[in-house]
Amino acid sequence: MYIPPGFETVTPYFFVDDAARFVDFLVHGLGGYETLRSLRADGCIANAQVVLGTSTVMVSESSPEYPAMTGAFYLYVEDADASMKQALAHGATLEMAVADMPYGDRQGGVRDTHGNIWWLSQRIVHEPYSA
């Protein structure tokens, strides 16, 4: 099986209203960078690809066939506190303040303007999760 560089076996694919604004949040609010954008005949995003850390996500403008939907995502970051400030400065709302968790992550949560929840997590121990 061949998987293109930057992609994983499972790749999140967002269908959202105002996809251009969502891509802007991924880039400026979560520190990603856009690698591809193709447009539909009506000028809306058919497919955009944004790299967040080591993962690529895809984004399309919603349509009657593919309505907008939300999800929850666990995003590993270098600095959970700085990432939280950045996301909030770009329109996200607070779900949970950043704190050290018993499972070895420093984590907080935000909800973006499209309704998705992002758990911004910084691993503070260098060991796998344990029960």
Domain containing residue 95: CATH number: 3.30.720.110
Indicate whether 40 pLDDT > 70: yes
Q: pLDDT per residue over 42-64, tens digit each?
A: 999 999 999 999 999 999 999 99
pTM, to two decimals: 0.95
Q: pLDDT per residue over 69-101, tens digit each?
A: 999 999 999 999 999 999 999 999 999 999 999
Domain with 110, as residue range(s), is 70-131
Shared-domain flag, residues 91 and 63: no
Domain count, the chain: 2
Q: Which residues are CB-contacts of 36 (< 8 A; sequence separation ≥ 6)?
A: 47, 48, 49
Shared-domain flag, residues 97 and 125: yes
Indicate whether 131 pLDDT > 80: no
Indicate whether 105 pLDDT > 80: yes
With 0-12 / 13-18 / 19 or more C-beta atoms within 10 angstroms meaning exposed / middle / buried, residue 81 is: middle
- Phi and psi of 90, rounded to 5°? -115, 30
Shared-domain flag, residues 32 and 88: no
Shared-domain flag, residues 87 and 120: yes
Shared-domain flag, residues 64 and 7: yes
Closest CA to 113 of 24, 11, 12, 13: 24
Given 15, 37, 68, which residue is the final one in a domain? Answer: 68
Torsion of the alpha carbons at 70, 120, 101 and 97, rounded to the nearest 10: -90
Rounded to a whole number, what is the largest CA-CA distance in the chain?
51
Shared-domain flag, residues 52 and 78: no
Shared-domain flag, residues 77 and 43: no
Shared-domain flag, residues 89 and 128: yes
Given 68, 84, 103, which residue is the final one in a domain? Answer: 68
Alpha helices in the chain (DSSP H): 19-24, 80-89
Cα 125 to Cα 74, 84, 92, 104, 107, distances in angstroms: 17, 20, 27, 5, 13
The residue written with tokens 């303040």 in the block is: 97
